[in-house]
Amino acid sequence: MSQSTEEREVDVAVIGAGTAGLAAYKAAAAVTPNVVLIEGGEHGTTCARVGCMPSKLLIAAAEVAYEGRHAARFGLRATMNVDGRAVLERVRRERDRFVGFVVESVERIDERHRLTAYARFLEPGLLDLGDRRIRARAVVIATGSSPFVPPVFAELGDRADVNDDLFAWESLPESVAVFGAGIIGVELGQALCRLGVRVRIFGKGGRLGALSDPVVRDAALRALRAELPIELDAKVASVRSVGDRVLVDWEDEEGHTRVESFERALIAAGRHPNLNHLDIERGGVTLDARGLVAIDPTTMQAGRSNVFLAGDVNHVHPLLHEAADEGKIAGENAARFPDVRMGRRRSPLAIVFSDPQMAVAGDAFSRLAGRGAGFVTGEVDFGDQGRSRVICRNRGAARVYADTATGRFLGAEIAGPSAEHIGHLLAWSHQQRLTIDQMLAMPFYHPVVEEGIRTALREASAKLAASR
Ligand SMILES: Cc1cc2nc3c(=O)[nH]c(=O)nc-3n(C[C@H](O)[C@H](O)[C@H](O)COP(=O)(O)OP(=O)(O)OC[C@H]3O[C@@H](n4cnc5c(N)ncnc54)[C@H](O)[C@@H]3O)c2cc1C
């Protein structure tokens, strides 16, 4: 056999060294020492390099800028000047620190177990790494996802950016058209706006952040619109590059034709699983009509095959903590294959670091409404909520959902202050399978934002009582 086709046999091959891949590697290595971790790109994970961490760093600066500019509400006088270069430098400096920790953890893995290559399948269990082949008893695919850039933006060339590019900007542009009102579009769009960039968000399909409850979504939209123009279903006629500008023609909600010119476009139109270059079908796995792989979310297994998909690549819950959990489940099952076991899944929790923050804990409204479950709602409007008003964050609303038959708390959607924390309390209550009355029996201090959630819980409790 020539050197270029050297073949190595392993128990488990993990493709991708992001959050899911690292968790899978660790879990598999706890069962068998014969595991390899294959990474084609840069180490450091999407979360640390271009995802969760740099976006939250940008948002942190934006929040300070916003609070400074609005200090007069408290009778305070402050002048706020944004130094875009310095803001972005801090984002990168802190980001690089987080990336450094991840890279160090990768470097602690014995070199014999980490390979640098883009892997693709030749046949079930056989991977081509270019200069060598890996024959694996089971394979974990943890290749993550990439920004989806619809073809309509191709014409914009280097005027169109995705999140990865934004964190490399040297300075802040004068204006940005943000395409997409999902989590990334809203977080980054609002942060840029608060840092003094003229921003307009063009959404599609009525989506806003992570929310599916129309009452909560409308409250969030009203709050966001007080700061920046945002349309949830923009009828964009054309996006063109004219000179060094991006020209957007669209029809606004009143039916008027509008044209606006921007320095840059930020495309936040969703993310696609990185499956394209894997030749996954040769690995014994079939793609569905959308180009996705159906997996069992309790085992991460693709059909009955020896392939497991963890993290963003499986398109189930594209969130960091889910990627880590899925990696662990996939790694353990791959190492024990064909003895495949159900792993522990936690109650759903998604958070958007906008202002108002958004959170979905437990079952989302759309899921409950979609399955026609018998449930009641309880609502709070944060406009008049005591603590929220004290801190000038009285924007948004929340709704909780309760099972009519059992009184159990089913889930909640929030757009309001401290949603990142309240979302946790609600997800924990959901996982503990608490009833609304058990939740109301717990302490609520005064004056706190949680009292607003108590208002919603009380309304749900009253509706439950009336339905009995
Ligand atoms: C802007 C932004 C903000 C976010 N904010 C949050 C947040 O606040 N909270 C949250 O929970 N989540 C957030 N996320 C989502 C979170 O970052 C992801 O869910 C998580 O990083 C996914 O991890 P992963 O392991 O699946 O993928 P990744 O970390 O992307 O790892 C995949 C790895 O596979 C490698 N790879 C790909 N193909 C191959 C191949 N053929 N061979 C070898 N290697 C390959 C890639 O180079 C990469 O290193 C955010 C994402 C973005 C983009």
- Summarised one tens digit per residue, pLDDT across range 145-154 is 999 999 999 8
Whether 309 is in the pocket of ligand 1, judged by its Cβ within 6 Å, is no
- pLDDT for 171 beyond 50: yes
Taking 70 as the threshold, does the pLDDT of residue 414 lie above it? yes
The radius of gyration computed from the CA coordinates of the chain, to the nearest angstrom, equals 24
Identify the pLDDT of residue 149.
95
Best probe residue, ligand 1, of 143, 188, 192 (max atoms within 8 Å of C-beta) = 143
Residue 232 sits at φ, ψ, to 5 deg, of -90, -20
Instruction: For residue 277, give the ligand 1 atom closest to its CA.
Output: 41
Report pLDDT digits (tens) over 281-324.
Answer: 999 999 999 999 999 999 999 999 999 999 999 999 999 999 99
Q: Is 144 a pocket residue for ligand 1 (Cβ < 6 Å)?
A: yes
Please tell me the distance between residue 58's alpha carbon and the centre of ligand 1 in angstroms: 18
pLDDT of residue 260: 97
In the predicted model, is pLDDT for residue 2 greater than 80?
no
- CA separation, residue 111 to residues 36, 134, 314 (Å): 10, 16, 28
Does residue 186 line the site of ligand 1, with CB under 6 A?
A: no
SS3 content of the chain, % helix, strand, coil (to 5): 40, 25, 35
Is the model's pTM score more than 0.85?
yes
What ligand 1 atom has the least distance to the C-alpha of 143? 34
Cis bond leading into 151, ω under 30°?
A: no
Q: Confidence band (pLDDT; 50, 70, 90) for 73?
A: very high
DSSP-H helix ranges across 337-412: 365-370, 386-390
What would the mean pLDDT of 177-186 be, rounded to a whole number?
98
- Three-state DSSP at 418 gives coil
Atom 9 of ligand 1, nearest CA residue: 52
Q: Which residues contact 207 (CB under 8 A, 6 or more apart)?
A: 181, 182, 232
- 270 touches ligand 1 (CB under 6 Å): no
Label residue 1 by pLDDT band (50, 70, 90). very low
Ligand 1 pocket check for 166: Cβ under 6 Å: no
Task: Return mean pLDDT, the chain.
Answer: 96
Residues 399, 282: Cα–Cα separation, whole Å? 47
**pLDDT exceeds cutoff 50 at 17:** yes
pLDDT score recorded for residue 4: 53
- The rounded Å distance from CA 155 to ligand 1 centre is 27
How confident is residue 206, by pLDDT bands cut at 50, 70 and 90?
very high
- Kindly report the length of the chain: 468
Instruction: Inform me whether the pLDDT recorded for 353 exceeds 80.
Output: yes
pLDDT band at 436 (very low <50, low <70, confident <90, very high): very high
Nearest-angstrom CA–CA distance, 241 and 230: 21
Please determine, for residue 389, whether its predicted confidence score (pLDDT) is greater than 60. yes
What would the mean pLDDT of 42-71 be, rounded to a whole number? 97
Q: How far is the CA of 308 from the centre of ligand 1 (A)?
A: 16
Mean pLDDT throughout 115-135? 97
Mean pLDDT of 125-133: 97
CA of 362 from ligand 1 middle (Å) equals: 23
Distance (Å, whole) CA 241 – CA 165: 18
Cα(47) to ligand 1 centroid in Å equals 6
